[in-house]
Amino acid sequence: PLKETRRFVEVVFGLFVVAAVLNPVVALFEQKPFLPQDVYQEVGAEELEAILSRGEELQRAAAVEARAVYGKRLEDQIRTMACLVPGVGAAVVKVEQEAWDPSLQSVGGVERVFITLRPEEDDNQSIPPVERVYVSSEADEPDPGNRNPEGRQGREEARLRVQETIASFFGLRKEQVIVSWENER
């Protein structure tokens, strides 16, 4: 029984030590900072206005920077999503943001998205492409789900797919997403 009691006593002493160490630390965080009353009275109204106006300038600058970063990240996301569509090798994206009021807490919305698509390039021109083989019990047309943009889907279908994907994913209307191929401009 002495060994079992010893463990209990060690736990209790450990808790006392933890409480003894943490109590002053917690009390330190709960204290108000010591600043003499004269410090508050020495700052005049002019200095206070200067400090507040500088703070507002910094807030506006930070909001402008946040808006620029938001636009850049949005362009990167849209570029990545556009390149996921079969037949699209690369995309150049320009996001046009709505007019913005700095007094608002948000960075503003998207007015329009301009996407210029470039087709996929074949890296291996010397090897002819292998024709698609369709296995079916009936002798009918090839699979309508063919995703080859040079075949059935074509450039227009790829363009429409990019437009629909971007509009639905980012909560935009289709009219806000303007998609074109690079050499069509």
Domain CATH number, residue 117? 3.30.300.30
Residue 114 belongs to some domain of the structure:
yes
Residue 112 lies in a domain: yes
Orientation angle between helical segments 45-83 and 154-170, nearest 10 degrees: 140
Does residue 2 belong to any structural domain of this protein? no
**Residue 100 placed within a domain:** yes
Structurally, how many domains does the chain consist of? 1
Looking at every residue in the chain, the average pLDDT score rounds to: 78
Residue 142 within any structural domain of the chain: no
The answer to the question of residue 89 being in a domain is yes
Please tell me the pTM assigned to this model: 0.56
CB atoms within 10 A of CB 88: 23
Q: Which residue has the higher pLDDT, 55 or 143?
A: 55
Report the pLDDT value the prediction gives residue 35, as an integer from 0 to 100. Answer: 56
Indicate whether 69 belongs to any domain. Answer: yes
Domain of 97, in residue numbers: 36-123+147-185
- The whole-number average pLDDT for the span 116-133 is 70
Residue 133 falls inside a structural domain:
no
Average pLDDT over residues 59-79: 88
State the Cα–Cα distance between residues 91 and 114, nearest whole angstrom.
10
Alpha helices in the chain (DSSP H): 2-30, 37-42, 45-83, 154-170
- 3-state secondary structure at position 136: coil
pLDDT (0 to 100) of residue 63: 82
Candidates 112, 77, 109; CA nearest to 94 is: 112
**Which residues lie below 8 Å from residue 85, measured CB to CB, with a gap of 6+?**
158, 161, 162, 165
